[in-house]
Structure 1
Amino acid sequence: MVGNRAVVYSKPGVVEVSNTPYPDLVLRDGPGVNKLNVGRKCNHGVILKVVTTNICGSDQHMVRGRTTAPSGLVLGHEITGEVIEVGSDVEFIKKGDLVSVPFNIACGRCRSCRERNTNVCLNVNPDRPGSAYGYVDMGGWVGGQSEYVMVPYADFQLLKFPDKDKAMEKILDLTMLSDIFPTGYHGAVSAGVKPGSTVYVAGAGPVGLAAAHSAQLLGAAVVIVGDLNAERLAQAKSFGCETVNLREHPNLGEQIDQILGVPEVDCAIDCVGFEASGHGKDHGEAPATVLNSIMEVTRAGGRLGIPGLYVTGDPGAVDEDSKVGTLKIRIGLGWAKSHTFVTGQTPVMQYNRDLMMAILSGRAQIAKAVNATLISLDEAPNAYQQFDRGVSRKFVIDPHGLVRK
């Protein structure tokens, strides 16, 4: 029997590479698996040999102990792999196909999926609409930071790369299709970015960098990225963004005014989420900071894209309200300015094929924008520590050593 090794959440601040069960086409009981999903047959699924799988900022929320993730949870929802086993109900995906896996798990049959809202599929998570691999309270589907993983609903979900050899040449770009590139792009589309727009992106982590690159692809005239981390801001500047260091210059409106001549932008994108910090050198965590600041600097009638993660349960929050996702948001300001807010998981399948073509044609340079950095499976625990310290890299795990360096 072939074995399987995976990156596993152990306890707050600690991940380990452990031996885990080789996947089959049944969702077995295990850490984090919803009891109502145990024993679920997946003849509509496939087994993948993982080619690349990425560390995401959303994973870090769990690793920091900011969720109710159980010890032993296999992490990872950004998956690209080669099909090595096909379920009896799979018709169009074949062994040997190289595919991108949307992080949203979606059946393709419910009302949400039929309306292209695959981020809130009704049939994959017994607790609430929407699911993802290797994530707490998302149904318990096993994560993909591993050597092998099972993917259900293969015919509907999987994006097959048309030329395997050419895909491997651009695999560091294509691996971003499972989550952060569509997520950043969704943030930009939700914010209404169009040719000539002025755009503010809150957060220069990988999703913020992906949103900034997406805004450029959509024709934005000026993209301004704000963060507290100078290294991450330097990465944003490397591909043509204006930047604002909110640790050194806490007044966001003044900084935008210096760049644009007016203290506001046409639209804004929140790529930070619920672990936001206050602006300035001495401020600690303040979960509503980004949402309130982007309302302040977005023009009346503007749009706010909010792909940054907000949760209903945060045991490590700074106050009792925040522990249940209740934040002190100035909704009156947003109402007075007639802002449009778009929140929630990104429906990856609305964007991934178009973005694949942008990558294959050379139009999109997402790996360069997010500073994709290839590592082995055994290097993952150290990469988590580096990422938590704020290093400006997007770590891409190569479990089998298949990617040419």
Structure 2
Amino acid sequence: MPGNGNVGTAETAQNKAVEYIGPGKVEVRTIDFPALELRPGPGVPPRNAGRLCPHGVILKVVATNICGSDQHMVRGRTTAPAGLVLGHEITGQVVEKGRDVEYVDVGDLVSVPFNIACGRCRMCKEGNTHVCLNVNPERPGGAYGYVDMGGWVGGQADYVMSPYADWNLLRFPDRDQAMDKILDLAMLADIFPTGYHGCHTAGVTSGSTVYIAGAGPVGLAAAASAYLLGAAVVIVGDMNTRRLEQARSFGCETVDLTEDATLADQIEQILGVPEVDAAVDCVGFEAKGSGEEGPTEQPATVLNSIMEVTRAAGKLGIPGLYVTDDPGASEEAARHGSLSIRIGQGWAKAHQFSTGQCPVMRYNRGLMEAILHDRVQIAKAVNATVLPLEEAPNGYEDFDRGEAKKFVLDPHGMLAGKTP
């Protein structure tokens, strides 16, 4: 048996998974059943290949979401290799545990932080699980199914291996209660903590006025988080009218960035002043600006605009993804992660910036309790929509067209009939 684990399912079980084939294309293919080992494969650094994981578990995937970060790869905007198994938003049931796993048991229903962390290094001990020093030999930080993040196999699959299980996994205390709220709990792996992190690091608190750039799933999660933190007014900006309508569905004010009026002018129409206390960038490096020929890619436009509309001494949360290499960028500098940011404006206004991936473990337990005790309806806010795993390619296409939905893949039919 792999890793001398306690086996709860047959190793010969089918394992279908969503693979990145090339720009604009994903397919559902049969892959090997996971073992308690990181086998060689697409995107796996040589120094990680063959890494034994007796501290890991095998999960039967209950829910796994399509993320905007996945879309960056699928659009060909990263150096992701063909054959990479996608998926870093995972909720699952433990079916096998390694010999070193003490506190997670077969049958447990768990949320899997998208950050893979060892729990042993300096960064993990300081709570910076998003930049663990031991799970990726090429740079700080690891994740499932993502380019340059250690090669850990993604979870848009029937089954997936999760290492360092005692440290990483968040166990739901009551299975029946969890399944009743499973679409909400499925957001704990990434977008709910990520949106919350963006607002928390931007200093959102009771009575804050907040601007959220982007009405995709992370932006909507940030907006819901801002209200959870006590914001008085949450303004969401986007060019997609369907997504702006979704933001309004739970009380947000909105600005349509295709209109002629400036962002500051539209904010002033709402608040009476052209600035907010805090701003959150939930767009990232594929940002677009309005021009005479319609929206064009301007990767620094969101960062510059949120500096413009955030008050002096305000804070900017930047959970939106920025990359070190972008082969599809329209500008040479942007292909290497260099953007034309007006840092002088931020300096002059004494802004504070917070960037990087969300350290999910810092927030997920508290957000789980907020879900279980009906303090937030995050699945409704992001319009969680269930699809069978086999329909993942359609989900990617619809998401790329700007549908106002958060697609949740259902590999085993355990989400049948579930709606927000």
Aligned to 1:393: 405
Aligned to 2:318: 306
Matched, 1:338 2:363: no
- Kept after mapping to 2: 8 A contact 1:250/1:279: no
Structure 1 residue 2 displacement after superposition: 1.5
Aligned to 1:114: 125
Aligned to 1:273: 284
- Kept after mapping to 2: 8 A contact 1:5/1:17: yes
Q: In structure 1, give the amino acid aligned to 2:271.
A: L
In the alignment, the residues of structure 2 paired with residue 404 and residue 389 of structure 1 have an alpha-carbon distance, to the nearest angstrom, of: 25
Aligned to 1:44: 55
CA-to-aligned-CA distance 1:280-327 (integer Å, 9 cap, x gap): 562300000000000000000000000000000000001110000000
CA-to-aligned-CA distance 1:187-217 (integer Å, 9 cap, x gap): 0001000000000000000000000000000
Q: In structure 1, give the amino acid aligned to 2:348.
A: A
Structure 1 residue 250 displacement after superposition: 5.0
Q: In structure 2, give the amino acid aligned to 1:225.
A: V
Aligned to 1:160: 171
Matched, 1:252 2:266: no
Kindly report which structure 2 residues correspond to 1:215-226, keeping only aligned pairs within 5 A, or say none. Answer: 215-226=226-237
Matched, 1:146 2:157: yes
Q: Could you say what secondary structure the match of 2:288 adopts? A: coil
The 4+ residue runs of structure 1 with deviation greater than 2 A are none
In the alignment, the residues of structure 2 paired with residue 182 and residue 29 of structure 1 have an alpha-carbon distance, to the nearest angstrom, of: 31
The structure-2 alpha-carbon separation of the partners of 1:250 and 1:291, relative to structure 1 and needing over 3 Å to count, comes to farther
Q: In structure 2, give the amino acid aligned to 1:202.
A: A
Q: In structure 2, give the amino acid aligned to 1:32.
A: G
Aligned to 1:101: 112
Aligned to 1:199: 210
Structure 1 residue 97 displacement after superposition: 0.1
Q: In structure 2, give the amino acid aligned to 1:221.
A: A
Q: Could you say what secondary structure the match of 2:328 adopts? A: coil
* Aligned length in residues: 405
Q: Could you say what secondary structure the match of 1:155 adopts? A: helix
Q: In structure 1, give the amino acid aligned to 2:377.
A: Q
Q: In structure 1, give the amino acid aligned to 2:196.
A: Y
Q: Mind listing any 5+ residue stretches in structure 1 that lack a counterpart?
A: none
In the alignment, the residues of structure 2 paired with residue 124 and residue 86 of structure 1 have an alpha-carbon distance, to the nearest angstrom, of: 19
The structure-2 alpha-carbon separation of the partners of 1:252 and 1:179, relative to structure 1 and needing over 3 Å to count, comes to same
In the alignment, the residues of structure 2 paired with residue 214 and residue 68 of structure 1 have an alpha-carbon distance, to the nearest angstrom, of: 32
Please give the TM-score of this superposition, normalised by the length of structure 1: 0.99
Q: Could you say what secondary structure the match of 1:300 adopts? A: strand
Aligned to 2:338: 326
Q: In structure 2, give the amino acid aligned to 1:237.
A: R
Match of 1:294 among 306, 311, 316: 306
Match of 1:81 among 92, 113, 121: 92
- Kept after mapping to 2: 8 A contact 1:172/1:367: yes
Aligned to 2:383: 371
Aligned to 2:188: 177
Matched, 1:33 2:44: yes
CA-to-aligned-CA distance 1:73-128 (integer Å, 9 cap, x gap): 00000000000000000000000000000000000000000000000000001111
Q: Mind listing any 5+ residue stretches in structure 2 that lack a counterpart?
A: 1-11
In the alignment, the residues of structure 2 paired with residue 320 and residue 64 of structure 1 have an alpha-carbon distance, to the nearest angstrom, of: 18
Match of 1:238 among 249, 255, 264: 249
Q: In structure 2, give the amino acid aligned to 1:85.
A: E
- Kept after mapping to 2: 8 A contact 1:249/1:255: no
In the alignment, the residues of structure 2 paired with residue 203 and residue 249 of structure 1 have an alpha-carbon distance, to the nearest angstrom, of: 18
Aligned to 1:53: 64
Q: In structure 2, give the amino acid aligned to 1:96.
A: G
The structure-2 alpha-carbon separation of the partners of 1:250 and 1:284, relative to structure 1 and needing over 3 Å to count, comes to farther
Alignment root-mean-square deviation, CA:
0.7
Please give the TM-score of this superposition, normalised by the length of structure 2: 0.96
The structure-2 alpha-carbon separation of the partners of 1:5 and 1:269, relative to structure 1 and needing over 3 Å to count, comes to same
CA-to-aligned-CA distance 1:254-292 (integer Å, 9 cap, x gap): 000000000000010000000000135623000000000
Percent same amino acid among aligned pairs? 71
CA-to-aligned-CA distance 1:109-152 (integer Å, 9 cap, x gap): 00000000000000001111001000001010000000000000
Structure 1 residue 248 displacement after superposition: 2.1
In the alignment, the residues of structure 1 paired with residue 260 and residue 166 of structure 2 have an alpha-carbon distance, to the nearest angstrom, of: 50
In the alignment, the residues of structure 2 paired with residue 37 and residue 55 of structure 1 have an alpha-carbon distance, to the nearest angstrom, of: 26
